[in-house]
Chains A and B, each alone.
Chain A
Amino acid sequence: MKHLLSTRDLSTEDIVSILAMADHMAEINSRAVPKVPALRGRTVASVFFEDSTRTRLSFETAATRLSAEVMTFIASSSSVNKGESLRDTIETLSAMGVDAFVIRHKSSGAPQQITQWTDAAVINAGDGWHQHPTQALLDAYTITRNFNELNSMQGRTVAIVGDIKHSRVARSDIDVFTRLGAKVVLVAPAAFLPSSLDGWGVTTADSLDDVIGVVDVVYMLRIQRERMDAAQMPSLREYSALFALTPERANRMQSHALLLHPGPINRGVEMIVDPSLVPGSRILQQVSNGISIRMAVLFSLLGGDATTTLQNGVEA
């Protein structure tokens, strides 16, 4: 595997092995000094054409803990529009000596296009509505580890709730969850579903009340207020009435069920309940798992001979 552009680049075996490697990384992260020299001498450039402080910090922390050098490039989306082509930006940064690019871009497909213009590995840290593969891996990691299953979500049902159409998290999660054996039900108003679900292997539900009591995982997506204005929903109030997680709905979750959210949470929009009061909430655990997963991904792409180097790293 040269790049990680989409969850579709990963075989199911790849997914399972990255989750297993994340267990090693989690052990490193639990140490007093959570740092190993596994990627010493490597340079990771985090290039964020769209701002996302938390994802950027997560990747940069992961790279730092593996002793890689970190280069940060934050472009306001307008600087790209001012005329520098994506190609020129990437070729310029490549010339500085980069082993891996971590790319966040508002445009779907940008990380894939970038692979034409650099020899470095490219990791998609979120592109438009398309993909956010490390999010799906950390979500699968969080779910499987909480259910004490190493490589399967067989028999589990996940409800993904919210704006599916405009969500790279949903597209990535659906692919990974279904391939690990989970049943996925999408809970969204029609305007928030893509025009076609051919080949997605999912079912849909019209309201959260229909599924909240029977699923194993409730995955709430962030709702962007500006999407409401684009005539996609009559009103925020109507949306919240049908699809928000209220205290009443949270109380109807099964006792073992998990609550996940990719963050940042829009309180009062999709989350009316205080998530800290939901026993099944693993939202903060997702954030810490994110570092382990991103360490595993960086190591898989840049680490050369995986087992030996990792062993060296772990022992160092």
Chain B
Amino acid sequence: MSAKSKSVVIKGATVVNPDAMFVADVRIANGVIEAIGDALTGDIVLEASGCYVSSGFVDLHTHLREPGKEEAETIESGSRAAALGGFTAVVAMPNTDPAQDNVATVQFVRERGRAVGLCEVIPSGCITIGRLGAQLVPFEQLAKEGVTLFTDDGTGVQDALVMQRALMVAKRLNLTISQHCEVASMTVGAVMHDGACCSTMGVPGWPSAAEEEMVRRDIQLVRMTGAREHFMHLSTRGSVELVRAAKAEGLPVTAEVTPHHISLTDELLSGFDPIFKVNPPLRTIADVSALHEGLADGTIDAIATDHAPHAGHTKEQTLDTAPPGMLGLETALGVVNTAVSLSPQKIASLMSWNPAVIANISDHQGRPIAVGEPAHIAVWDTTTVWSVSRDELASRSTNTPYHGMELRGRVRHTIYNGQLVVQEGKALA
């Protein structure tokens, strides 16, 4: 399809590559970057001075809800939200219904993503059948279907032996195991961070130790197996310290944080609004500072959204019964750029280059802006101030915690597979 497409020229933006940043025009044609230079012309010209042009963002952690919860999100609506957020690839979490623990479901998600065609939808696989933590999925079969990242996200694998075996298989097949770290026995009924706010509010707490205990255990399992493990949505100071030490030891671990964990704290829950309920929970300002330090020193490799749409009525329940999760795709860049002072190259590394490597898709995503490379591109700025409105999001759900807040930095254009899918912040399909 890209063969017949019109050529697109991005004019006057600063190219952001790992080794250099420079101002140039970029021409995309036939699905690839065809030319980089001055005064390029094309069928569609995007004025982009003052913007950055980088490889498209890669989200390691997206809940698309299809199949199973299409009232909250579909692969189409979620793909559109992703494109608007500058993402050209999203790893679809496996807690669908049915779960992505079998070839048929994985094929369905990938094919549906292709048919929609707004970004690359990469199905992740469960680690265990039904995400029940007991029996391993058929890793080899799923790997043959292109699954490169396995996780039981939403629950951590509780049994250390099951986790050890998963890591052994993953090492043999060169796959990534991605863990949601939560010792379930310590978080029964948990609603929010177990601290001063939670104590006053009288709700069951989610202690930091429940995350840190599993991070600690899994680092030991990585030490034993030599397999790669990726830690999802780290939220506590202790977790950052554990991962920092593991990396210093040379262990093959990586870690992500979400935009919300680096920008929001548990005090927001004091009004009992379920919009701020998320798992792992929003923590304290001390934890947020630790996550910022982890971003700065490289302990944390990636920003991942944990985009988790929920139908409106489900968030109109009480705080203890409402499901955890918040939208993230369309606000990710703005939140990150507003919450933390990062260079353009750092932003691109956290949101594109590193996650592409972790998801094992760096052969075609997260590539440098160079002639001949596949045209998965985001054009964005770090200066536009805009106000988030939950009613103007492409997601089927409205559960953003940033409604009414001003963010600095916005995605202007997104090109996926050579196609212009977002122009001037508007989805074209």
Chain A contact residues, CB within 8 Å of chain B: 80-81, 85-87, 105, 107-110, 112-113, 128-131, 166, 168, 171, 194-200
Contacts and interface: CB of A to CB of B under 8 A. Distances in A.
A109 B192 CA distance: 13
27 contacts: A85-B317, A86-B316, A86-B317, A86-B318, A107-B321, A108-B203, A108-B318, A108-B319, A108-B320, A109-B203, A110-B272, A110-B318, A112-B271, A113-B316, A113-B319, A129-B202, A130-B203, A166-B202, A168-B202, A171-B200, A171-B202, A194-B199, A195-B198, A195-B205, A196-B196, A198-B196, A200-B200
B196 A108 contact: no
Contact of A109 (B194, B195, B318): B318
A197 B199 contact: yes
What's the dominant secondary structure at chain A's contact region?
loop
A103 to B, nearest CB: 11
Contact of A108 (B194, B207, B272): B272
Nearest to B315: A85
Nearest to A127: B202
B371 interface: no
Contacts of B273: 113
Interface string B260-280: 000000000001110000000
Contacts of A105: 318
A80 B321 CA distance: 10
Nearest to B195: A196
Interface of B: 194-196, 198-203, 205, 207, 271-273, 313, 316-321
Contacts of B199: 194-198
Interface pairs A-B: 4 shortest CB-CB: A109-B272, A129-B202, A107-B318, A194-B199
A195 B207 contact: yes
B189 to A, nearest CB: 10
B275 to A, nearest CB: 11
A199 B200 contact: yes
Given A108-B203, A109-B203, A113-B319, 18 more contacts: A85-B317, A86-B316, A86-B317, A107-B318, A107-B320, A107-B321, A108-B201, A108-B202, A109-B272, A112-B272, A129-B202, A131-B202, A168-B202, A195-B205, A195-B207, A196-B196, A199-B196, A199-B200
Nearest to B199: A194
A93 to B, nearest CB: 15
A194 B202 CA distance: 8
Nearest to A112: B272
Given A128-B203, A168-B202, A195 B318 contact: no
B195 A195 contact: yes
A109 B201 contact: yes
A107 B207 CA distance: 20
Contacts of A87: 313, 316
A107 B321 CA distance: 8
A128 B201 CA distance: 9
Contacts of A107: 318-321
Central interface residue in B194, B273, B321, by most chain A CB within 10 Å: B321
A107 B316 CA distance: 13
Contacts of B200: 171, 199-200
Contacts of A195: 194-195, 198-199, 205, 207
Central interface residue in B207, B271, B319, by most chain A CB within 10 Å: B319
Nearest to A109: B272
A53 B373 CA distance: 72
Contacts of A81: 321
A66 B127 CA distance: 63
A120 to B, nearest CB: 18
A68 B25 CA distance: 75
Contacts of B272: 108-110, 112-113
Contacts of B196: 196, 198-199
Contacts of B203: 108-109, 128-130
Given A85-B313, A87-B313, A196-B196, A113 B318 contact: yes
Contacts of B313: 85, 87
A130 B318 CA distance: 13
Contacts of A130: 201-203
A151 B194 CA distance: 35
Central interface residue in A80, A85, A87, by most chain B CB within 10 Å: A85
Contacts of A112: 271-272
A131 B202 CA distance: 8
A82 B319 CA distance: 17
Contact of B316 (A85, A131, A171, A198): A85
Nearest to B313: A85
A87 B321 CA distance: 13
Contacts of B202: 108, 128-131, 166, 168, 171, 194
A198 B195 CA distance: 9
B135 to A, nearest CB: 28
Nearest to B273: A113
A130 B270 CA distance: 11
Contacts of A109: 201, 203, 271-272, 318-319
Contacts of A199: 196, 200
A194 to B, nearest CB: 3
B311 to A, nearest CB: 10
A166 B194 CA distance: 14
Nearest to B274: A113
Contacts of A171: 200, 202
Contacts of A197: 199
Nearest to A129: B202
Contacts of A198: 196, 199
Nearest to A195: B194
A56 B320 CA distance: 23
Central interface residue in B271, B272, B313, B318, by most chain A CB within 10 Å: B318
B398 to A, nearest CB: 14
A295 B205 CA distance: 35
Nearest to A110: B318
Central interface residue in A107, A109, A200, by most chain B CB within 10 Å: A109
Contacts of A80: 321
Contacts of A110: 272, 318
